[in-house]
Amino acid sequence: MSKKASLLLAILIVIGIGTSASAIVGKWVFLGSAHVDGGVDHDTIRVNTNLTYASIQLRVSGSAVQFDHVVVQYGNGQSETLALRDQIPAGGQSRAIDLPGARRAINRIDFWYQKAHWGAKPEVQVYGMP
């Protein structure tokens, strides 16, 4: 392959990688989900992405969930406790919860909650904003 063709191929690869990474920024990324099984519950969602996040959002389906607090463990081992103390109805979502400091990699998210009503089995989904 000629030097010009090699250079052109390298430029196209760099542009393609940059375009795919920038397409994610500004869109919520699904991080994981958990089901609320009992009256009072604690669950952990392990995050398996190589992205860094500026904020997270909790979404609820099935039945309302009363949240107590959320602990975010970052890639560097540090953790942050976020007092949420909100009830999110079925089909609802939390506000965008800003993570302190610069965007960071997330290893896992632990949350403590309980069912607000004994209707359908609730599911909690967590999204991150890169």
- What are the phi and psi torsion angles at 30 (to 5°)? -65, 125
Residue 14 lies in a domain: no
Evaluate if residue 21 carries a pLDDT over 70: no
pLDDT of residue 34: 93
Q: How far apart are CA 19 and CA 8, in angstroms?
A: 16
Residue 58 lies in a domain: yes
pLDDT of residue 1: 59
List helix spans (H) across 3-115.
3-24
Residue 60 lies in a domain: yes
Tell me the sheet residues that pair with 123: 35, 61
pLDDT of residue 126: 97
Q: From start to end of 1-130, where are the E strands? A: 29-35, 40-46, 55-61, 65-74, 79-83, 87-88, 97-98, 106-115, 123-129
pTM of the model: 0.77
Evaluate if residue 103 carries a pLDDT over 70: yes
Q: Can you give the residue range of the structural domain that contains 84?
A: 28-129
Residue 121 lies in a domain: yes
Calculate mean pLDDT across residues 60-89. Answer: 92
Residue 76 lies in a domain: yes
Residue 49 lies in a domain: yes
Q: How far apart are CA 17 and CA 26, in angstroms?
A: 17
Residue 86: give its domain's CATH number. Answer: 2.60.120.1380
Residue 95 lies in a domain: yes
Residue 33 lies in a domain: yes
List helix spans (H) across 41-124.
none
Q: How confident is the model at residue 129 (pLDDT cuts 50, 70, 90)?
A: very high
In the chain, how many domains are there? 1
